[in-house]
Amino acid sequence: MNKYLKVDEWKLIEEGFNPENHKGSESLFSLGNGRIGQRANFEEKYSGSSLQGNYVAGVYYPDKTRVGWWKNGYPEYFAKVLNAPNWIGIDVFIDDEELDFAKAKVDKFMRVLNMHDGVLERKAEVTLESGKKIRLVSKRFLSMHNQDIAAIKYSITPINFSGKITFIPYIDADIKNEDSNYDEKFWNIVEKQVDKSEAFITAETKKTEFQVCSGMVYNITKNHVTTEFEPELIQHDRYVANKISIDANKNDELVLYKYAAVLSSRNVEKSTLLEQTIKTAKQAAKTGFEILLNDHIATWEAKWHESDIVIEGDVEAQQGIRFNIFQLNQTYTGDDPTLNIGPKGFTGEKYGGSTYWDTEAYCLAFYLSTADSHVARNLLKYRYNQLDRAIENAEKLGFKNGAALYPMVTMNGEECHNEWEITFEEIHRNGAIAYAIYNYVNYTGDKEYLVEYGLEVLIAISRFWSQRVNYSEDKKKYVMLGVTGPNEYENNVNNNWYTNKIAAWTLKYTQETIAFVKKTHPARFSEITEKTKLQEFEEPARWENIVNKMYYPYDEKRKVLLQQDGFLDKEIKNIEFIPVAERPINQNWSWDRILRSCYIKQADVLQGIYFFENEFDKDAIRRNFDFYEPITVHESSLSPCIYSVMASKIGNNKKAYDLYLRTARLDLDDYNDEVYQGCHITSMAGTWLSIVEGFAGKRIIDDRLHFSPSIPRKWLSYSFVLRFRGSLVSIKITRKEMLISNLNGIDVSVAINDKKYEIASKQSISVEIKSI
Amino acid sequence: MNKYLKVDEWKLIEEGFNPENHKGSESLFSLGNGRIGQRANFEEKYSGSSLQGNYVAGVYYPDKTRVGWWKNGYPEYFAKVLNAPNWIGIDVFIDDEELDFAKAKVDKFMRVLNMHDGVLERKAEVTLESGKKIRLVSKRFLSMHNQDIAAIKYSITPINFSGKITFIPYIDADIKNEDSNYDEKFWNIVEKQVDKSEAFITAETKKTEFQVCSGMVYNITKNHVTTEFEPELIQHDRYVANKISIDANKNDELVLYKYAAVLSSRNVEKSTLLEQTIKTAKQAAKTGFEILLNDHIATWEAKWHESDIVIEGDVEAQQGIRFNIFQLNQTYTGDDPTLNIGPKGFTGEKYGGSTYWDTEAYCLAFYLSTADSHVARNLLKYRYNQLDRAIENAEKLGFKNGAALYPMVTMNGEECHNEWEITFEEIHRNGAIAYAIYNYVNYTGDKEYLVEYGLEVLIAISRFWSQRVNYSEDKKKYVMLGVTGPNEYENNVNNNWYTNKIAAWTLKYTQETIAFVKKTHPARFSEITEKTKLQEFEEPARWENIVNKMYYPYDEKRKVLLQQDGFLDKEIKNIEFIPVAERPINQNWSWDRILRSCYIKQADVLQGIYFFENEFDKDAIRRNFDFYEPITVHESSLSPCIYSVMASKIGNNKKAYDLYLRTARLDLDDYNDEVYQGCHITSMAGTWLSIVEGFAGKRIIDDRLHFSPSIPRKWLSYSFVLRFRGSLVSIKITRKEMLISNLNGIDVSVAINDKKYEIASKQSISVEIKSI
């Protein structure tokens, strides 16, 4: 836990420079635009502790992995998000003294991330060892309007001296990953070009052969007037730069405008990559900083319009939710179906691979409600496009006949994680991918998706479940042995309730979908049966049999679902019994001790109740919540949000709010002392869920928006906008009423606390609510 | 499976050169003398597939280990058995053509390991590319008489030409391990010396800083007459050599006698290491090949006298058991309590670390019966000496108050294996270490061992068990969650019967030992209670409570012990259902599939029945055997021997013999296609068990040797010698009788099929037996 940022509705503000917070701030103040991302590293040299990070979406390296003893079926590599060539760099010398915040005395310092505008700004005054004082102001953004470009306005003013200021703006491909094995470098240089006011490097990743061209065009003003200069051109092996020295009198402001373009072979032909990058950077410079910035802000404005949540009366909560929404929008924009949402987004290199089940289980709901439906559809198609590889993956593990196991972690559809208890056993991910199809169709009503793509995926996943269970002669039931549930503090357990449940649900949903597609699109259905070699009657019959005879562990005494077989053999003790010094247990306890303990990393049974809520009455939910919540340590960022939604559901508003704050400010307050590694991007969608599905109680039932609103004690009101099947609905919940406005042209039907209301176009309704 | 060796009672014979078998032969024909070991690599260059291996007992390197996700409590390193500087090397040129069996045509080839003498011989005739033919005869041994030296007699004879023969005898420290990460080298050079007829290198391991000095002194004869020569002295960075060219006429025999000395800082001060090595090598050369060889053979002769098993009527079985006994004697001689028995001995580098529970569970019994009792005592003291580190190891995992968890794999007492399911969970090893104390005391009657060393170890292990179990409110019993039993094809299971059993047994045995020591050695007992801070009454009381309330999974229907909770949820299908192409399953199935299956890698429940046989009647043993044996794949070399002993116990002689053959010839016939990695040394003790405890039914009950003899159908007789409490007893079992001779001065009391016999000194008895 580390609270050093100022609380503000729209901004992250760090005042005063504390090197110990710098690495964390580099994560928190990160910028991204869906295609490129950049940690808040300083432009000029910084010799203190820092994690240099600049990432290009979808560009990765298949790193070697080593484990103690190789297991048959392990993947060949671990995909690594790559630190890409540095385009922000501007080294600065004052006379012959290099500017370095680690060596100078930082007299004044302020770092501000304006989330509304998507702009990072730093203002500082520093005294160099020589006693010379300068003022530094830097401002940068990664354009949301044109995702290939970024711009930096970098200003230096001598305060107490006149002298020579030297700028070295550069592009540096001599970079590595902090976590690379044996300091390996992952980039080869393809070509370089350096000229007056510009420099470009094309680098290619080893093995994966992605090319990225990073370049800059810059100009300099002195006291707001463009200044002429004759730079020294610098070129090393993996580095290109200009060096410009300019005489400045006291109080002269020198500003370097650096326009960067970063293009990759994912979007541009390799043969024209350099040319296109040059063109893009030059065009950006021609357009100029202010116009680029205005376009960028306008794009953000539109995004905020649809995705913002406004909270009155609780600035901490407001800042928290905005930070989460900001990061989600920075990370994924939804226009490229080959991209997905990495757990750290563009804020760090940990968790290497890009796609986890987080996308389907947590993120999808956010994009469904806050963006055009093609965005969520692209997230689903990402998996559809990788179905063949999921089938190959299952084959490697001995499954047959078109069964698919989607990877735990992937970049291109291949598994790239290798711990057996995760890779081979955390198979509930397959269920979340099926559930996401349901969730999407249920939300959008887009049943065509099932016809076009969904059914093929469902059949393949159902085949997997059907082969993964076995019939227990002892129990006279189907059982699923050797799995790891969402709670990764249990490995290789038998009959994880959540996994059994989502497997059976998938089998059932697939049968329904088969019936639907067969009836409504018989030709397409024939195509699918042919392509998948579906045994139209035998396979669903077996699935039905499994559904009917699936085993679910249950405690008759407490009337709670059991997380897995044997759970009650554990010593069940609330988390208060864990000494504070031993929390988080994953940093203090050995793995066997964690496994033996009753402590739960993240929602597991509760995750299933969250997904299949309609199958449980409130008492049952409460019993399960009351049994599991006190033994849940929430050491996954994905945990508190689900518990928060469920706490709202059972009317435990205090708990719901506490858990909300924890999820919303997880990174801002650095709960787990690890934000320096990057932010928890995927769990940020969970924060949004805590409000919209938790406090506001949003559900989609029978094609209708439902709400069961509540409001945290501290809040005066909260409001947000939802997209739902072509309509745009604005919701405001105050302490007394719920106000719903239908913002556009289609009538909309909603239910509040199960009472139905029709709202005509451009109309509003207000419903009184009981606030607690 | 690969049967290419000739069957012979005393020898391993390979006729004809097949490069595909070479790496396997390098393992099988390995030599060792307890202190140094050498794979059967060729002396001259061999550019074909080969695993160069030369090992110095106890010299290891703490290699980096990498796993996907680091777990708290993992050790810092993986100890690696190191390939040490090459001292066998003699490169040969015929005129200017290098001798290399991978390039020449090998016309005749015979490789013979004479196990009786401990001598490796190779005779070959080869035609070089030039058409020149030579005869090569090489003979070498690693002296059992003086463990610091080895000698090679290396002879070349031109068959169809006269020309210049060049020898380059060398010492090469430019070596690496085949399994080193990123081709790292582990040795630094300390000093070198090369002179006429001699060369030495002292190398030091990185990090662990062991020094090994390897040197040679050599001379050359031509047609049996010592020849003079003026060698070229060669010295590179990590290499020293002499180069000698000698003119030879057709049929002239040139013989190079290479005397090697290999000394290490484990036995000699670093400051005098080079000096001592030089002295040792020179002394060896002075003594001469034949005398050294005779001393060596005499030492082996004495070893065979006490440890041989003679089988009449079954040469395959005879060769098998002798090979096993030979390797065990080569690997461990028992005079250094800091050494132990690595799973591959000196025959390969796999399994890096030296000591596994194999030592206590399998090897101890062999050394108890075939060597002076100080040898077995040294094996126990090895663990006693490492008790402090076992306590530290347990502390790292969160155990307290002097609880000890011995490492799964170790070189110096520190854990050096890092897979959580093994390192943290395969804790039954602790039980085997306690059981070995009982086994030793039961066999030798040396109760003083308990007083001096044993009790401290027992208390520490009991403390571990007492903290590792927990009370299940659900079962109203003590349970042990999250363990891996001997059957490593199950991980993280609850209530592995074997582990629960051996834990409870330890707790009971410790209580008895406390009572014994307290009564017989009250002063020493006070010392121990003080040292261990034993709560004399409270701790044993808790232990007793656990013993009384320990939970044991059991199937009431089948009346069999259950390997673990939930075992009956599996699909139980005999191994015949596994397609042959999918065997061994550990090379063909993914790990989750193996875990989910019912298939058992090695004796687990049966291992417990083996240890605690007296608690079961024959019917119970048979029921368990009949349930588990058909689902056991024996993919650990440690498996068939235990099943064989148990098969003998229940009178299933055919099964006992089949399993015996499999264990005895596991490496000779390369059952698992992996002998090229090295031989399975520790399981070789199991082969011995199959005969002595299996067929002969040897047990120690109430301080008396018991037998319940049987004889495999094919055998005419088998005989062996046992040491037992100062007496030496020779046993011969024919198809009709069992003959026991008391070879030395103490009367001995035995029981045959539970009938007691007293045998006076130098007397024999004969008892009729029913052969089947």
User: pLDDT tens digits for A411-459?
Assistant: 889 998 888 999 999 999 999 999 999 999 999 999 999 999 999 999 9
pLDDT tens track for A449-487: 999 999 999 999 999 999 999 999 999 999 999 999 999
The helix (H) or strand (E) run that includes residue B768 is strand B764-768
Of B424, B470, B473, the CB nearest to A592: B424
A590–B72 C-beta distance less than 8 A: yes
- 3-state secondary structure at position B561: strand
Q: Which residues have a Cβ under 8 Å from the Cβ of B17 and sit 6 or more positions away?
A: B101, B106, B109, B124
For B350, which residue in chain A has the nearest alpha carbon? Answer: A69
CB A175 within 8 A of CB A86: yes
* H/E stretch holding B221: strand B211-222
Cβ <8 Å between B181 and A66: yes
- CA–CA min distance B624, chain A (Å): 18
Pick the residue of B495, B569, B588 with the most A CBs within 10 A to test the interface with A by mutation: B569
Beta partners for residue A157, in sequence order:
A135
Residue A180 has a pLDDT of 67
Is a pLDDT exceeding 60 seen at residue A66? no
What pLDDT shows up at residue B78? 76
- Give yes or no for A592 touching B (CB within 8 A): yes
Alpha-carbon gap: B708 to the closest alpha carbon of chain A (Å)? 38
- pLDDT of amino acid B745: 82
Report the distance separating Cα B760 and Cα B772, nearest Å: 30
- In chain A, % of residues over pLDDT 70: 98
Chains A, B: CB pairs < 8 Å: 146
pLDDT at B353: 65
B596 touches A: beta carbon within 8 Å: yes
DSSP secondary structure letters along B436-451: HHHHHHHHH--THHII
Window 529-568 of B, Cβ < 8 Å to A: 565-566, 568
C-alpha angle A600-A604-A606 in degrees, rounded to nearest 5? 110
Where chain B has pLDDT below 50, the residues are none
Range 178-217 of B in CB contact (< 8 A) with A: 181-182
Q: Report yes or no: B569 at the A interface, CB cutoff 8 Å.
A: yes
Q: How far apart are CA A716 and CA A601, in angstroms?
A: 33
* Interchain CB distance below 8 Å, A566 and B481: yes
Q: What's chain B's length in residues?
A: 772
Active-site entry in B316, B426, B488, B539: B488
How far apart, in Å, are the Cα atoms of B321 and each of A11, A603, B305, B324, B648? 78, 57, 15, 5, 17
B residues 362..401 contacting A (CB < 8 A): 396-398
pTM of the model: 0.92
User: What is the pLDDT at residue A183?
Assistant: 62
The predicted structure's pLDDT at residue B65 = 63
Q: Does B570 touch chain A (CB under 8 A)?
A: yes
Which residue in A68, A396, A571 is closest to B65 by CB distance?
Answer: A68
Compare CB distances from B479 to A418, A482, A569 and report the shortest one's residue.
A569
CA-based max dimension of chain B: 89
Q: What is the model's pLDDT at position A353?
A: 65
**How far apart are the CA of A453 and the nearest CA of chain B, in angstroms?**
29
Cα angle B459-B464-B466, degrees, rounded to a multiple of 5: 90
Torsional class of A230: left (φ above 0), alpha (ψ -120 to 50), beta (otherwise) = beta
Residue A262, H or E segment: strand A254-264
Q: Which of A733, A727, A653 minimizes the C-alpha distance to A696?
A: A733
pLDDT digits (tens, 9 = 90+) for A122-180: 999 999 999 999 999 999 999 999 999 999 999 999 999 999 999 999 999 999 888 76
Tokens matching residue A474 = 């002892």
Q: Based on the residue annotation, tell me whether A488 is a catalytic residue of this protein.
A: yes
Question: Which of A565, A596, A635 would you mutate first to test chain B, the one with the most B CBs within 10 A?
Answer: A596
Best of B71, B419, B480, B592 to disrupt the A interface (most A CBs within 10 Å) is: B592
Contacts of B596 in chain A (CB under 8 A): 470, 481-482
Residues A121 and A111 sit within 8 Å (Cβ to Cβ) = yes
pLDDT value of residue B752: 96
Closest CB to A397: pick one of B68, B493, B593: B593
Taking CA–CA distances from A423, the nearest residue in chain B reads: B592
Q: Taking CB atoms and an 8 Å limit, are B481 and A570 in contact across chains?
A: yes
What gap in Å lies between CA B37 and CA B346, rounded to an integer? 5
Give the Cα separation of A196 and A153 in Å (integer): 19
Chain A residues in contact with B592 by the CB 8 A cut-off are 73, 397, 420, 424-425, 482
Q: Give the per-residue pLDDT at B231.
A: 97
Per-residue three-class SS string for A682-696? HHHHHHHHHHHHHHC
For residue B741, the surrounding DSSP H or E stretch is: strand B737-742
| CA dist., res. B67 & res. B77, Å (int) | 11
Neighbour count for residue A627 (Cβ, 10 Å):
19
Contact B398 A479 (CB under 8 A): no
Q: How high is the pLDDT of residue A189?
A: 96
Task: Determine the distance in angstroms separating the CA of A482 from the nearest CA of chain B, rounded to an integer.
Answer: 6
* pLDDT of the residue at A1: 85
Q: Does A573 touch chain B (CB under 8 A)?
A: no
pLDDT at B197: 97
What value does the mean pLDDT of chain A take? 95
Tens of pLDDT, residues A265-305: 999 999 999 999 999 999 999 999 999 999 999 999 999 99
Q: List Cα–Cα distances, A418 to A69, A566, B351, in angstroms.
A: 11, 27, 21
The Cα B338–Cα B368 span in angstroms is 18
Q: Which of A482, A568, A569 is closest, CB to CB, to B596?
A: A482
Closest chain A CA to residue B481? A596
Angle between helix A455-468 and helix A538-548 axes, rounded to 10 deg: 60
Nearest to B417 among A66, A68, A422 (CB): A68
Q: Are B499 and B471 in contact (CB under 8 A)?
A: no
Q: Does B73 touch chain A (CB under 8 A)?
A: yes
Q: Does A68 touch chain B (CB under 8 A)?
A: yes
Contact at CB, A566 and B566, closer than 8 angstroms: yes
What pLDDT score does A78 carry?
Answer: 76
Mutate one of A590, A594, A598 to test the B interface: name it (highest B CB count within 10 A).
A590
Q: Is A579 on the interface with B (CB under 8 A)?
A: no
The interface predicted TM-score of the complex, written ipTM, equals: 0.90
Q: Which of A198, A316, A414, A488 is catalytic?
A: A488
Tokens of B130: 């030039």
| Pairing label, strands B119-127, A78-81 | unpaired
Tell me the shortest Cα–Cα distance from A225 to chain B, in angstroms: 54
Partner-chain contact B67 A68, CB within 8 Å: yes
Taking phi first (over 0 means left), then psi (-120 to 50 degrees means alpha), and beta for anything else, what does residue A131 get?
A: left
The structure tokens listed for A304 are: 């905020």
pLDDT, average across residues A607-613: 98
With beta carbons less than 8 A apart as the criterion, state whether A712 and A314 touch.
Answer: yes
pLDDT of B67 reads: 52
Name residue B486's beta-bridge partners: none
What's the pLDDT at A673? 84
